[in-house]
Amino acid sequence: MNQETAAPTAQLDSPIRNFSQLLSSTPRGARLARLLATEQLRTWGIPLDPAEHIVAELAANAVTHGRVPGRDFRLTLYVIGGTLRIEVTDTRGDRLPYVQEADLDGESGRGLLIVDALADRWGVAHGPAPRKTVWAEAEFRATGSRPAPPRFSTARPHA
Averaged pLDDT score across all residues of the chain: 83
Residue 106 CB coordination number (10 Å): 10
pLDDT band of residue 110 (cuts 50, 70, 90) is confident
User: What does the pLDDT read at residue 109?
Assistant: 63
| Total-model pTM | 0.77
What residues pair up with 126 in beta bridges, in sequence order?
132
